[in-house]
Amino acid sequence: MTNPLRVGNCSGFYGDRLSAMREMLDGGDLDVLTGDYLAELTMLILGRDRMRDTELGYARTFVRQLEDSLGTALERGVRIVSNAGGLNPRGCADAVREVARGLGLDVTVAVVEGDDLTERSEELGLGKVLAANAYLGAFGIAEACRSGADVVITGRVTDASVVVGPAIDRFGWGTTDYDQIAGAMAAGHIIECGTQATGGNFAFFNRADGWLDDLARPGFPIAEIHEDGSFVITKHDGTGGFVTVDTVLSQLLYEVQGARYAGPDAVLRLDSLRLEQEGPDRVLVSGAEGEAPPPQLKVSCTSLGGFRNELTFVLTGLDIDDKAAFVRRQVEDALAVRPAELDWTLSRTDHEDPDTQERAAARLTLVARDPDEKTVGRALSGAAVEMALATYPGCFLTAPPSGGTAYGVFKPGYVDQGVPRHIAVLDDGSTVRIPAPPQTQPLEPTTDDAPVFPEDFGDTVRRPLGTIAGARSGDKGGNANVGVWVHSEDEFRWLDSFLTVEKLQELLPETAPLRVERTRLPNLRAINFVVEGLLGEGVAYAARFDAQAKALGEWLRARVVDLPTRFDQEGTNR
């Protein structure tokens, strides 16, 4: 348990804090510094970049960060591992070498590639797409590290792989060391989103003394990984934010699908993990159990779905429903060609006896989609403008009408593990082929064997669920997840019996017509829900105003429920 691998993170998405790489290198000791720049929406952005210029397709902010920090990383012996290569990892590597030449530095750069299946997408049954990228595993990264590379750049790998790969290299894990790999997967999953592990986007953000100062600029997380796969999540001394069992658990539940967290190299059993506060800003995560990976890899399939336009009408004062019906009828009657999709949403943000005009206002939003840009562009905007003086009283829009804009569609695909030509391209140009895993097994869903508790929890009081429960939610393609947790065994027994699929659909009516999967995680005192199809065809499709379901959990926490009185005071003071 000595000499752990200290892996820091400096990016949770394309657009994260630009100074984070410098802050992490200056803040204390590290062995490896990772950065996650890719997401489903990012793949669309990079795909459109590459359409305009074939030399692009990678995260350019990563290169800008290295202009400031590469010399420090080399001086301190910190290896940098990142998926910033996106759709063009060799182009990104060339840009890094150019930066090094300009700084007078000698750097070795390795690339991991083979994820790009775009040219073979139709042959593989993935359809005609803008980009098709398989989620590769960590052994290519491990091979690149083994070669002594200072910087390792990948294309589409799983988010956790940039952490797992260096751990495989350090500890010499083999392809069937599933428990150890699963532990490193958990570490990678926790730090991949940067400051979400150190207090960012945290449900109980305002229940700690000095929270306003502590969380104004949280530090980025570090995972200290041990040879047995256990690890400690921490951060550099003197940085903002905090690392507690709660903040780590919150991130652990982010964007997960069930108790089995699948990766290309292993499957992590989330229900095996145990979290313990080891000290200030130090959380020990242990007990990881791993299983053989599934026989297929997930593929990110991104395509252009058509064109989209959005108009928001402000409805003020009395007769809101009639005003909404009036303008809806006028706009639809004025359209010579009806778009393929017309979605109207009325948000009743108005208040009775309003003391400001804004509190008197509701919002009616129209979203139109069509393969033809003109149908949702000038034609739709023109219809809205022409009836501006002939419609409901007080009509105005939140923004001037505009033309249609292209939108993307994300769909997951699957291919056999051996289909991608997974290779590590070393600094001298030589390549190492990474074979498919020697063992696989089908990914079996875990059953929701929720017990029926005869326990009487006593008197109740009407309180928001968030009085005692934390939540974290996010997106996976068109699905949304929301993980809910509490702090004591007593609270979990109540939550487990109370928060069924039916109760969730009652509390969040938007989910009622959709399929919802529920997974119990008793070790974590948590329950995870996956709501299928809530987000349409992915974030770029923008099926709802919270297109990535980031606040779905906060909506759930705000719902008022019959909370056992004995929990009420505990939760308020927590």
- CA-to-CA distance for 69 and 191, rounded, in angstroms? 20
> Which single residue is written with the structure tokens 């979203």?
367
Q: Are residues 198 and 119 in the same domain?
A: yes
Q: Are residues 189 and 113 in the same domain?
A: yes
Domain assignment of residue 469, yes or no: yes
Q: What angle do CA 250, 252, 256 make, to 5 degrees?
A: 110
Q: Where are the beta strands (DSSP E) in 243-399?
A: 260-262, 267-269, 274-279, 282-286, 289-291, 296-316, 341-347, 361-370, 396-397
Q: Are residues 270 and 200 in the same domain?
A: yes
Q: Are residues 398 and 513 in the same domain?
A: no
Q: Which of 381, 299, 362 is nearest to 43 (CA)?
A: 299
Handedness of CA 551, 557, 558, 561 (dihedral sign): positive
pLDDT surpasses 90 at 151: yes
Domain assignment of residue 439, yes or no: no
409-441 in b/e form (b: 16+ CB < 10 A) is bbbbbbbebebbebbbbbbeeeebebebbeebe
Domain assignment of residue 335, yes or no: yes
pLDDT surpasses 60 at 573: no
Domain assignment of residue 193, yes or no: yes
Mapped onto helix, strand or coil, the DSSP state of residue 169 is helix
Q: How many CB atoms lie within 10 A of CB 253?
A: 26
Mention every residue, 6+ apart, whose C-beta is less than 8 A from residue 321: 346
Classify residue 64 as left (phi > 0), alpha (psi -120 to 50) or beta. Answer: alpha
Q: Are residues 70 and 86 in the same domain?
A: yes
Domain assignment of residue 140, yes or no: yes
Q: Are residues 479 and 536 in the same domain?
A: yes
**CATH code for the domain of 375:** 3.30.70
Number of domains in the chain: 3
- CA-to-CA distance for 504 and 492, rounded, in angstroms? 16
Q: Are residues 243 and 368 in the same domain?
A: no
Look at residue 2 in the predicted model and tell me its pLDDT: 65
Look at residue 52 in the predicted model and tell me its pLDDT: 87
Domain assignment of residue 448, yes or no: no
pLDDT tens-digit map of 372-388: 999 999 899 999 889 98
Mean of pLDDT values over 386-406: 91
- CA-to-CA distance for 236 and 91, rounded, in angstroms? 32
pLDDT tens-digit map of 307-348: 999 999 999 999 999 999 999 999 999 999 999 999 999 999
Q: Are residues 266 and 316 in the same domain?
A: no
In the sheet that 289-291 helps form, which strands lie side by side, from edge to edge?
A: 260-262, 267-269, 289-291
Look at residue 357 in the predicted model and tell me its pLDDT: 96
Domain assignment of residue 451, yes or no: no
pLDDT surpasses 70 at 466: yes
Q: Are residues 313 and 290 in the same domain?
A: no
Domain assignment of residue 163, yes or no: yes
Residue 222, domain extent: 5-295+417-433
pLDDT surpasses 70 at 30: yes
Q: Are residues 281 and 184 in the same domain?
A: yes
Confidence of residue 480 (pLDDT cuts 50, 70, 90): very high
In the chain, what percentage of residues exceed pLDDT 70? 97
pLDDT tens-digit map of 118-138: 999 999 999 999 899 999 999
Q: Are residues 388 and 494 in the same domain?
A: no
pLDDT tens-digit map of 253-307: 999 998 999 999 999 999 999 999 999 999 999 999 999 999 999 999 998 889 9
Q: Are residues 49 and 171 in the same domain?
A: yes
